[in-house]
Chains A and B, each alone.
Chain A
Amino acid sequence: MTRGVAGPRGGESREVINGRNWLVALAAVLGLLFTAAMALRVWQQLFAWSAGLDSTSPEFATYWMPVFWTELALLGVVAAVWWGWAGFIPCGTCEAQRASSGGVKPGHELSHIATLWIYTTVGTFSAFMQLAFFGEQDATWHQVAIRDTALTPSHIPLFYFWFPLLIITSVATFLYGRTRLPHIYRDHGYALPMLLMIGGIFSLFLWVAVNEFFHSFWQTEERFSAPLHWGFVIFFYVGGAVIFSIWFQTLPGIYELIGQLQAEPGETGARGRTP
């Protein structure tokens, strides 16, 4: 996301920041997630009525169980790779810049902040899919088909893809913040918004278990404003509202870093003058 250009006397290079790359990366990530959402939705359209009404039927085992296992396997791999890279593999560029000049260059740190924001966008898109699109879809499906198990055509994408993806993203955001932006998310201890985000979002998944427990023993019908659903709202308030805090936590750094870039001398050697 950054490249250097020759300085005024052909000496050390200056950083050039191209924010367009951030938007391209954001668009690519959202495109990938949107494709996954559409693929799941199309699968539901094709096979929910014909093969998804009875979880004991051979058709269900043919068309829905593979989706379930694929989701779990895929997300397991994503979690292992993403957490491993974000949490245990340091940034080579940061280390090289610290070794050569004692600190990370402002442009490179800005790119880390932009990447963190892209991570949170993965999270908010997952939340949109989880709690809005596929969440209300779950209400729709269970108005017409009473659940026989926790695995239904609406639950398989909702509980076993988008819910885990949001948890994986929240942990990855936490790890990335601690390793790539240590002065914000590590040097002063654990950032409370990050912990609330992970705790609230993980509690959402715990509430899935509560939800299925109550539905199995007490309330088979799907009156959607019933108390057994209220925990989803409360835990999302805790885990989702703090994402605003995570963004705003980086705002002072963004302004400071852009200020540092503005203060760098231009090619004439004077501050801010056009070459």
Chain B
Amino acid sequence: MAEGNGFEGFRALDRKFDLMFLASALFLVIAGMQVTLTLWSGDWDFWSDWKDRQWWPPIAASVNLVVPAALQYIAWSQLRLPLGATFAAVAVALATWLTRVVNMWGWAYFPIPFVWPATFIPQALLLDCTLMWTRSFLLTSILGGLLWGALFYPINWVLLAPFVQPVEYYGQVMAVADVQGFQYVRTQTPEYARLIEKGALRAFVEEITVVVAFFSGFVSLVAYWFGHLIGRYVCWPIPVFLKRM
């Protein structure tokens, strides 16, 4: 069959399926990333006063590696495209900013400087580049996973720095983020429900941020394999059907 008489050609037909797949996959990836971010790291990403040194790096970094790791497996093993993690990180960045602006600020009137989301794009780029260079999921999990967790706090430091500046508030020294938290009381604000940098030996160790970075890296390494196994076994029919092609 030749082009003409209303027929646009086979390459164009291929592209139609590509566009339909991209549109649909974008929504699916956003849903997966944001449900993980919202329900597994939730408050640690919602509020600036929850972005501490104790829980925010290990929890937010590791749980938000699950879906990128799964997508990285699918994109690399089946399509040889080193962009699964970056696609997921960009998708969630678009979606979280949309919901923070439209819902948190537009509906509930929380200020954006209080509810800004963390970014995962630089870590995702590093993760995909690591896979592209090493061509090994094992080395990517070790090197890329460690980098993902360890660099989470430094990369987001650019966003966080203004809110950890010290202020004196009612005679107490605290961070700007703490003051924001007192101004915007939430249903999880009672002390029994808050999990912000608690510990009997709070910040006893010097260079605690470095210690946390290493811990986040190791937790992220484990989370990488959790996501990788989801991609491998929940999406198991993919390689079966691709082999028929």
Bind each other: yes
**Is residue B205 contacting chain A, with contact meaning CB distance below 8 A?**
no
CA distance A237 to B110 in the complex (A): 30
Chain B nearest CB: distance from A272 CB in Å?
7
Q: Which residues of A contact B234 (CB under 8 A)?
A: 196, 237-238, 241-242
**Is residue B119 contacting chain A, with contact meaning CB distance below 8 A?**
no
Restricting to B14-66, which residues have a CB under 8 Å from any CB of A? 14-17, 19-21, 23-25, 27-28, 30-36, 38-44, 46, 59
**Is residue B188 contacting chain A, with contact meaning CB distance below 8 A?**
yes
Contact between chains at B241 and A248 (CB < 8 Å):
yes
**Is residue B201 contacting chain A, with contact meaning CB distance below 8 A?**
no
Per-position 1/0 for A125-161, Cβ under 8 A of B: 1011011110111011111101000000000000000
Chain A: interface residue count, which band?
Answer: 35 or more
Q: Which residues of B contact A139 (CB under 8 A)?
A: 38, 42, 46
Contact between chains at A272 and B2 (CB < 8 Å):
yes
Contact between chains at A143 and B186 (CB < 8 Å):
yes
Q: Which residues of B contact A140 (CB under 8 A)?
A: 99, 103-104, 107-108, 110
Contact between chains at A114 and B20 (CB < 8 Å):
yes
Contact between chains at B38 and A137 (CB < 8 Å):
no
Q: A117-B21, A241-B235 are in contact. Are A45 and B107 (CB under 8 A)?
A: yes
Query: Which of B7, B21, B44, B195 has its CB near the most chain A CB atoms (within 10 A)?
Result: B7
Chain B nearest CB: distance from A112 CB in Å?
13
Chain A nearest CB: distance from B102 CB in Å?
7
Measured CB to CB, the nearest residue on chain B to A120 is B24
Query: Which of A136, A144, A222, A230 has its CB near the most chain B CB atoms (within 10 A)?
Result: A136
**Is residue A66 contacting chain B, with contact meaning CB distance below 8 A?**
no
Chain A nearest CB: distance from B164 CB in Å?
22
**Is residue B190 contacting chain A, with contact meaning CB distance below 8 A?**
yes
Per-position 1/0 for A215-257, Cβ under 8 A of B: 0000011111110011011001110111111011101101100
Restricting to A71-116, which residues have a CB under 8 Å from any CB of B? 110, 114
**Is residue B169 contacting chain A, with contact meaning CB distance below 8 A?**
no
Contact between chains at B36 and A224 (CB < 8 Å):
no
Q: Which of A128, A224, A273 contacts B38 (CB 8 A)?
A: A224
CA distance A63 to B48 in the complex (A): 34
Chain B nearest CB: distance from A201 CB in Å?
11
Q: Which residues of B contact A121 (CB under 8 A)?
A: 20, 23-24, 27
Per-position 1/0 for B206-245, Cβ under 8 A of A: 0000000000000000000000001100111110011011
Contact between chains at B245 and A127 (CB < 8 Å):
no
Q: Which residues of B contact A3 (CB under 8 A)?
A: 6
**Is residue A206 contacting chain B, with contact meaning CB distance below 8 A?**
no
**Is residue A39 contacting chain B, with contact meaning CB distance below 8 A?**
no
Contact between chains at A225 and B241 (CB < 8 Å):
no
**Is residue B121 contacting chain A, with contact meaning CB distance below 8 A?**
no
**Is residue A26 contacting chain B, with contact meaning CB distance below 8 A?**
yes
Q: Which residues of A contact B15 (CB under 8 A)?
A: 19
Contact between chains at B237 and A146 (CB < 8 Å):
no
Contact between chains at A17 and B13 (CB < 8 Å):
yes
A-B contact pairs, 15 of them (CB 8 A): A23-B19, A117-B24, A125-B24, A127-B27, A140-B108, A144-B186, A193-B237, A225-B39, A240-B28, A245-B241, A249-B237, A252-B244, A261-B10, A266-B1, A266-B2
With contacts A16-B7, A233-B39 known, what are 10 further pairs, Cβ within 8 A?
Answer: A117-B20, A124-B25, A136-B96, A137-B107, A139-B46, A237-B234, A241-B234, A248-B242, A258-B10, A261-B1
Q: Which 3 A-B pairs have the closest CB atoms?
A: A224-B42, A19-B16, A225-B42
